[in-house]
Amino acid sequence: MPQNQPPTYRIAPSILSADFARLGDEIKAVIAGGADWIHFDVMDNHYVPNLTFGPMICQALKPHAKKADGTPVPVDVHLMVQPVDALAAAFADAGADLVSFHPEASGHVHRSVQAIKAKGCKAGLVFNPATPLDVLDWVIEDIDLILIMSVNPGFGGQSFIDSALRKIEQARKRIDASGKDIRLEVDGGIKTDNIARVAAAGADTFVAGSAIFGKPDYKAVIDAMRAELVK
């Protein structure tokens, strides 16, 4: 993306905070409310102390991830699992459009990235609050997405960790220096009242769970977030 062009912002509601008894309807409702991507948090109760969805749920929900006119809405799978490769392949087969993983959860980061791309998916790396960005020195040429965690992974509804703003700035510098079209996504504690600060640090894609699904009117929250982004 040319640096003088304003970013195209993307809002990715996380279904971790949705009503699990009605996930298909919740996905349709949040897309009608203006969601650009659907963020799918996969937790294995090993890499993180929580357990969520498997590939079968992703496959069942994929047909619901489309706009009223039938346009597919990207399914953004965030893998908080260890090991990575088998589940990455299974989610790719289940309809994921983007698959991101935590580098420290894979013994062979470059190989895991290649395997995800070989499945026709976009590949991303996720950085926990205390994890440095150094691995990007060796694989930034190969990835499509950098996901900065602004909470410690495992739960929704946590508070935004401010040190993430500095890491977003560092990641933005690396992306701009690479000249590649890489999305910079931030995940955890994103709200209408902090999204502009996160964008100012260099992010262009925003995961929000409790801020959206915790409210009755999804469209009102997403519209308010967009209004903050264009201020």
Q: Which residues are catalytic?
A: 41, 187
Q: What is the largest CA-CA distance in the chain?
A: 45
- Residue of minimal Cβ distance to ligand DX5: 209
157, interface contact from Zn ion, ligand DX5, none, CB < 5-8 Å by kind: ligand DX5
By CB under 5 A, name the one of 17, 31, 41, 140 that touches Zn ion: 41
9, interface contact from Zn ion, ligand DX5, none, CB < 5-8 Å by kind: none
CB of 64 to ligand DX5, least distance (A): 18
**Of 98, 102, 97, 99, nearest to 82 (Cα)?**
102
- Which pair of structure tokens corresponds to residue 45? 């109760």
Should residue 76 be labelled a site residue for Zn ion when binding is judged by CB under 5 A? no
Applying CB under 5 A, the span of 28-36, 46-54, 78-86, 197-205 interacting with Zn ion comes to 78-86
Which of the 8 DSSP states describes residue 51?
B
By CB under 5 A, name the one of 76, 97, 185, 187 that touches Zn ion: 187
**Of 81, 108, 19, nearest to 99 (Cα)?**
81
Contact (Cβ atoms closer than 8 angstroms) between residue 23 and residue 62: no
What is the secondary structure of 162-220 as a DSSP string? TTHHHHHHHHHHHHHHHT---EEEEESS--TTTHHHHHHTT--EEEESHHHHTSS-HHH
Decide whether 19 or 141 has the Cβ nearer to ligand DX5. Answer: 19
CB of 69 to Zn ion, least distance (A): 27
* Whole-number Å distance between alpha carbons of 78 and 40: 6
Should residue 185 be labelled a site residue for Zn ion when binding is judged by CB under 5 A? no
* b/e map 55-68, b = 16+ CB within 10 Å: bebbeebbebbeee
Binding site for ligand DX5 (CB under 6 A): 14, 16-17, 39, 41, 78, 151, 153-158, 187-190, 207-211
CB of 50 to ligand DX5, least distance (A): 8
Binding positions for Zn ion, rule: CB under 5 A? 41, 78, 187
